[in-house]
Structure 1
């Protein structure tokens, strides 16, 4: 029998939230008060966002107003809204703001804003309404959108707390408990979609759960994390995802 000259190696099927290798790891460095699980607790093996206080972590993205400063003026003709002119385009609009019309003695008028280059460039009248004796007030309200990618992945570090009789394990860090985030290295996770090597890793902005897919094609309600799939598997089965090992 000849001496073996090849080695066959496969990644072990691991537990979601655990480190998957001894490759270099990066941990998010908290402030002097550390990180703590926010309202309702923090789920392990999902992505999380640091909240405005710099301490609390949630599996949901904070939101911010998508733009500000736009104003408009309505014109009334024969009791109906015939046009709405943009007085100020505002700045920072990433999605179309909501346009509401109030006062003026009439009712039923509706309109939608058009955004280009971060500004409101037009306001189109959808329904002219009836009974207007004077121009109504035009109010332009920015929509709230998720504010940025998650700061890291909630890895398992024995932070959980079993709270039920004979409970063997938990994936929830209770509210107020210390928590940590990984921003690089290899970790086990699960995806709601089938995963293949090299795919981008996306996080739901409402609960931090993971899906995978082609780079630049984030599913609705998800955001690119900057992590990649290192070992694929079927949906719901353990996979390995890898974050950058050095700051960009």
Structure 2
């Protein structure tokens, strides 16, 4: 009898251990959501003024143009998908407290009639991979270059010119502005959009990072990570700069380019 009791207790202990392991693994994969942070996200959406009709719907993950992860945290806001059915009143972008969404990956506010400046807090969204603020009255970039004054131009190519711009936050970016002829070409418009879609998905150390873009009837430009020493083309065509590129450095550049091309084709 005592042996049976001992075996039953061992069996119960084994089942308990298995249950504890399962619970531990489950919550490591699907952590409990922080109810206070989720409420902060909900309040931020309400204060923006775009979801006033959803005040009686407690779970903001079911609101129009909002997507959440399994923990209930907002990962996507795509209000432009509601247009032209819902056209919000002109308002400040600052009405949307972006810091309330630490897991935000996708933010599409194209054509929302926004005005004012782009909040610097957007730069704190470390998981954000797609940002579209096109066709709004947000003029930070244009002001930073004084409406693309020639003194900010650092290079000109076949399809556009590149400008150095310092934003109000102090961050320096490179702007590739398309020439007017290309911006008015429908086929090039499609090519521009394809480039944006591709670059928003790419994260590689040897490929310059795309921060954003503007697709407007007046302006079409891409906002890139600023490279301090200009382009490889410039360096190779400058005797002093080219002299610094020994064969070892040039081989490393070729390897980096090869890795980047392989990454693009595998994506």
Structure-2-length-normalised TM-score: 0.19
Higher relative contact order (CA 8 A, sep 6+): 1
Which has the larger share of helix? 2
Structure holding more strand per residue: 1
